[in-house]
Each structure stands twice: as C-alpha cells, then as structure tokens.
Structure 1
C-alpha cells in the first residue's frame, strides 16, 4: 500500500506531500488542483510502462507542465506586501514525482537535457531515479540509484553497476529486469503496472458496453467498459457472486442482472420488478449502465494494489451515490482506493468510514495545498540530491 505521494513543480503542485490510507478521497473547488494531482499519479504509473516522457509530450512538453510561479515565495509575497516575481534560481529546473509504500518507495526527477546540437533539446529527460526502502528516502534505505545513463544497485555495503547506457527518455523500469542484480526494479515495476485507472465510462447510445461482446474470460474490466457482459460473467464464475448480486440490489432494490449467450457473444439483461421482460444494455439509462460498469470494475476477481477512480459520480442520480460509496468501501477491503469527487453525498458516505483519508485541496497564490496541512503535518519526505 502507498503511504505517501510527493509531487514537486508539476503544474500547480509546486511542493505537495500527501499522506495516503486505504481510501483516499480527494476533493476541492474547481481549479484547486485535483486533476493535476490525478495526472501526477498517472505519470508515475507511466514510468513502469516506459511512457512517462511521451505522456509529458502529449501534455504539451515539459515547459507546459512545469510550475509557472517563482522558485520560492518571500515572506512579503506570501503576505501580499510585495508583488510576486521571479528570483535568482538556485536549483536546476526539475519536475519530481515519488511515492513511499509498504515495501519499496520510488522517486523520479525529470528536466531538460544538456544543451547540444540536437533538435530534441526541449524533450524531457530523466535525470535521476531511485528505489528505496522505508517510509522516506534516506542513505541507509537506498537500493537502486539511476543518475543520468548509469544505474547502480546496492550489494551489501557496496554498490555495483547494472547499466551504463540508458537513454535520457528511458526509465530504468523498462531497461532493467535482472532478478538477481536488481530484484527491486522488477518487483516494483510489476506492482506499478498493476495499478488500475478508471476515468469516465462511456454510456452514450454508441457506447461499447451497450453492444454484445465476445465470450472471453475477463477478470479485469477494460477502461471503457467494452467487455461488461464478459466481465460480469467472469465474476459469476470465479468471483464473489453474492457480493455482485448484493451490489445490484443495494442500488436497485429488487432488481437483478443476468448474462445471456448469443452464439459466441454475451449480452447483459437487467431485470426490474414490475417489468414483463428484462432490459438489454442498449435500453438502459446512462446512469444505470454506468453504475453496472462500476459494479463490475469494483468486483474484479483480480483486485489491483491500487485502484484510481476519477469522478465516479458522473451521470449518476444523487440517490445512487450512497450505494456507490458503499461499493467503493467494500472494494477498499481488497485494494487501496483513490477517489476524486465533487459529489457531497458520495463524499459524506466515504468520510463516514474510519478507512477514509480525506484530502481537501485549496489554492494559495496559484499553488495547490492540502487544507489544514502545516509543515509539521506533512509526512517526512526527501528527494534524491541533485549533485
């Protein structure tokens, strides 16, 4: 389980260190930085897929994602007695992302490459990466260090080189898979790759979830819900059928869902009290279809170490939100959950659980902060030295 998430110089996140629990509820006004925090977590996930530099490029490049304010705020700037203005830069330009977890922690530093004759001098470069053990980075806990093109791993009290020619756009996760010389890289890579993100399920008339799907065992619902019927039947055969049925009844009292076979394809049927025939997926309202998608996603027979839900309340009737909150809390007994939400009824349900770690974001001088978090409230965190 992740215990701390740290971000520096990414959009409005000039310096943010966030404690994490079983259920992490991120709230705040529009423009407070919720989307930036969510994107920062997705960028961390991209490191294990080899796509962090490409993901930054799709956001407009490093220059578009870096913190646009001053490196430091003077007391006068904070008090409003002097204008916000740039100062002499003391540190190199860097976007930093990291987390601490029960077993291993990780941090990455991205910046610009050394000036050259290349036309790619503004392409983000990975300056450093580190894997460590313990609640935060310290010398005794460093296990694998990447500086520039070179990677070293701890060998007792000494260090040994495991790679010397990494390209600046390549993470060590994609280039090192040696279970003997660097087992931490392999273990952490597979853990991060197992993180699961769900943004907005499609529920329009042409949504993939409304059409019959191939009868293929599907322990993990796809991000767009295209395999809903197959995922539902997979849960019925190898997952928790009772919990699946209870989740439907909790949201739609007296209703149940069945899966029918149409040759090599499967279709969902929604049975409601008072109707003489079940409704197909094509006939369901947007909210009902979307809620069934959440039930399938959160009852996966292959729970991930981390499941991230971005505004799951979208298109749902407010009366469904308490049931959705209970659905999420139940999923949190099997996976660590991160939820970004605006919905007061969903927020109230989640905050009613002792497992919930609420994080309310606010902005001060355009930088995102955690409401009520003082310097002494932050989890301990250190970045890898720039030297």
Structure 2
C-alpha cells in the first residue's frame, strides 16, 4: 500500500501532499487540479517504464508543465499584487509516492536541461535526482538507493554506500537503467510496482470505437486502456471468477446475463436481457451500458495492479448505474489500491456507502497508515491547488531533500 503522493512544481500543484487510502476519491470543481493529480500519477508510472521524459515532452516540455505562478504566494495572500521575484529554489517538477510503514517509497526530481553543444531536443527535461527509501518519509537512515545526475549508489550489506557501475544518462531513469534484483533489489522492486499501475481515462463508445468491434482474442489479464480487448477480458474474468462477473452484471441490470460469442477467433460481447428474443452485441448496446461493461472489465481484472486510477468513471452513466459502479470500485479496492478522480457528488456518496458509510474526512490515521477510504477535496487559491481543510498539522509528513 501507498500512504501518500506528493507533487511539487507541476502545473497548478505548486506543493501538494495527498493522503492515500485503499480507496482515494479526489474531488473538487472544474479547474481545481483534479486532472493534474491524475496526470502526475501517470508521470510517476512512466518512470517505471522509462517514459517520463517523453511524457513531459509531449505535454509541451518542462517549461509548459511547470507551475506558472511565483515561487511563493505569501505576499499575494497579504494583499499585494502577484509578481515574479528572483527564485531561490531550483526550477523543477518533483514527484513522489510514499509507501506505508515498511513499504518502499520513491521520488524523482526533473529539472531544466543543461545545454551542451548543438541540439534540437530542447523540450526534454533531465532527471536530476532519484531516491528510494523505506517507509512514508525519507530519512538518511531509511534510504536504500539514491541517484545524483549520472551516478547511482545502493546500500551495501554493512549499511554503507556502494556505487553502481552504470552511468545513467540524464534522459533516463535509474529504475530502467539499473535492473538487477540481486545488486539493487529496491530499485528493481519499485520499477516493477510502478510498471503495474493502470490508468483508465474514460472510454470511447462511439460507433467507430474499438470496443464496439469484434476483436481477435487471447487470454487477457488486464483490459487495454482503449477497451479494444473487451470481449477477451470479460471471457478471461468469466473463466477465472464467473460468480463475480455475473453478480456485477445482475447488480446493474436486473435479470441480465452476459456472455461472449467467439467466431473464428473473434470475440464479441453479448448481453441477454429479459423480454428480448436475442442478445444485444457490443455494436448494438447503448453508450452507457457499454461503458459500464468496460468499467467492470477493468475493475474485475484477475491480476490486480498495485494501483489503479480512474478518471471520471461516472461520465455518461445513468444515475441508476452510479451505485452499482461504486460497489464494483469498492470491491476492487480490497485487491488493489484505487484512486478515483470525480466531480460527481452522487458517486462520492455512493462510494462512501459502499466502503462502510463513515465520513472519510473524519477518519484519523497515523503516518504511514492506510485507511479504507480517503476523500480529498481540491480547490484553487490564487491559481494554486490546495486541499480543503488541510493545514500544517494535518498535511501528511513528506521530505523532498535536496539535489
């Protein structure tokens, strides 16, 4: 389990530390920074695949992704006009995820590239620093691996530091360059964990969407992000845990039954409904029905990831499907850590009831403790994303360290 996620210098997230539960619901009005939290999680996962530099470049480069306001808003909060001042800190996007007590944590520091010679790759940030440690807060005694620019060091058996005989280029992560489960087990473990994270940012369900077409199917342990292997994913779930799928379908569509038709290796979904002479295939299903089946395929995966993030899963669903969806998400959070980004008050209420009914804003937890549900409400203050009700004493402990 992860207990915290921290972001600094990324878009409106000037300096945010969010507590995580087994199920974390991030909510707030439009423009409050919810999507930035979701995208920051994707960037963290990209570190495990060696794709974080490319992901930032596709966002317009580091300069486009950086916090656009002043380094400090203290003067603006006292009533003075917002204006730029000389920066005292380094310009950087910093991302980190804190493990629960005894679990591994990770942070990455991305900075302005140092230009040497002629190059046209001006959008590429550089990885300046990476750290892996045990527990929710980085301390010198808990560090297991550290990277400064091109050099990587890991703890040896005597508790000292041993250099890794690999020079890591500035555009690469130590997680993908130092891959040795024996010499650097902590780096290897963090890489594998981040690579397992899954993200679902809604699904296309228009007439030409991949999920509406029969597709060649093989055993599928994780639904593709575009839902193109829906039939194969549902058939895999049906064979692995048939009762769970039948229960989830019946919970949403009273009396309905799901099956997968296989013709010459092509898999297509069939929904059998009371009163219908034949089942409806994926091309015939309503947008909301098809999207709900896609969410079930993602949530009921036979091989759950370490973390699964869902961006506005309630989109285009009828209100009658919100409660069944919430129950499916709550069940998934018992096998994976789940982050839901939503502005739907109905979904927030349904998730609270599905988890247990207690107000998650009133649940107290110690450092590194993971509770069943966290509700994180975001708002904007002078362009900066802040957590509603979070103050100096209630912000989870976090330490960025220095380059």
Q: What whole-Å deviation, never above 9, does each CA across 1:336-358 have from its counterpart, x for those lacking one?
A: 10001122221111123342210
Per-residue deviation, 1:73: 2.1
Identify if the C-alpha distance between structure 1 residues 122 and 236 changes in structure 2 by more than 3 Å, giving closer, same or farther: closer
Alpha carbons 1:196, 1:306 under 8 Å: kept: yes
Structure 2 distance, partners of 1:219, 1:164, is: 34
1:11-26 map, 5 Å = 11-26=11-26
Per-residue deviation, 1:247: 0.5
Alpha carbons 1:114, 1:121 under 8 Å: kept: no
Q: Tell me which residue corresponds to 1:84.
A: 82
Unaligned runs of 5+ in 2: 357-371
1:302-321 map, 5 Å = 302-321=303-322
Q: What whole-Å deviation, never above 9, does each CA across 1:309-334 have from its counterpart, x for those lacking one?
A: 01111121111111111110011111
Q: Tell me which residue corresponds to 1:70.
A: 70
Q: Tell me which residue corresponds to 1:100.
A: 98
Partner SS for 1:351: helix
Q: Tell me which residue corresponds to 1:180.
A: 182
- Determine whether 1:344 maps to 2:345: yes
Structure 2 distance, partners of 1:227, 1:12, is: 35
Alpha carbons 2:57, 2:123 under 8 Å: kept: no
Unaligned runs of 5+ in 1: none
Structure 2 distance, partners of 1:214, 1:122, is: 38
1:174-253 map, 5 Å = 174-238=176-240, 240-253=241-254
Deviation larger for 158-167 or 370-379 = 158-167
Identify if the C-alpha distance between structure 1 residues 208 and 114 changes in structure 2 by more than 3 Å, giving closer, same or farther: closer
Q: What whole-Å deviation, never above 9, does each CA across 1:134-185 have from its counterpart, x for those lacking one?
A: 1110100111000010000011321111045211000001110112221111
- Determine whether 1:55 maps to 2:72: no
1:108-187 map, 5 Å = 108-119=108-119, 120=121, 123-155=124-156, 156-187=158-189
Q: Taking structure 2 as the reference length, what is the TM-score of the superposition?
A: 0.93
Moved over 3 A (4+): none
Q: Taking structure 1 as the reference length, what is the TM-score of the superposition?
A: 0.96
Q: Tell me which residue corresponds to 2:362.
A: none
Identify if the C-alpha distance between structure 1 residues 123 and 214 changes in structure 2 by more than 3 Å, giving closer, same or farther: closer
Structure 1 distance, partners of 2:33, 2:166, is: 38
Deviation larger for 250-259 or 204-213 = 204-213
Q: Tell me which residue corresponds to 2:401.
A: 384
Per-residue deviation, 1:122: 5.2
Structure 2 distance, partners of 1:289, 1:93, is: 45
Partner SS for 2:283: helix
Partner SS for 1:15: strand
Q: Tell me which residue corresponds to 1:322.
A: 323
Structure 2 distance, partners of 1:176, 1:127, is: 16
2:378 to 336, 345, 361: 361
Q: What whole-Å deviation, never above 9, does each CA across 1:221-259 have from its counterpart, x for those lacking one?
A: 111111111111111112x21111011111100111111
Count residues with an aligned counterpart.
383
Structure 2 distance, partners of 1:191, 1:45, is: 9
Identify if the C-alpha distance between structure 1 residues 293 and 138 changes in structure 2 by more than 3 Å, giving closer, same or farther: same
Q: What whole-Å deviation, never above 9, does each CA across 1:14-53 have from its counterpart, x for those lacking one?
A: 0000110010001001000001111111000000111101
Structure 2 distance, partners of 1:330, 1:91, is: 43
Q: What whole-Å deviation, never above 9, does each CA across 1:40-71 have from its counterpart, x for those lacking one?
A: 11000000111101111000000001111111
Higher relative contact order (CA 8 A, sep 6+): 2
Deviation larger for 201-210 or 19-28 = 201-210
Structure 2 distance, partners of 1:136, 1:59, is: 29
Structure 1 distance, partners of 2:52, 2:262, is: 41
Structure 2 distance, partners of 1:281, 1:230, is: 13
Structure 2 distance, partners of 1:215, 1:7, is: 39
Partner SS for 2:141: helix
CA RMSD of aligned residues (A): 1.2
Alpha carbons 1:152, 1:163 under 8 Å: kept: no
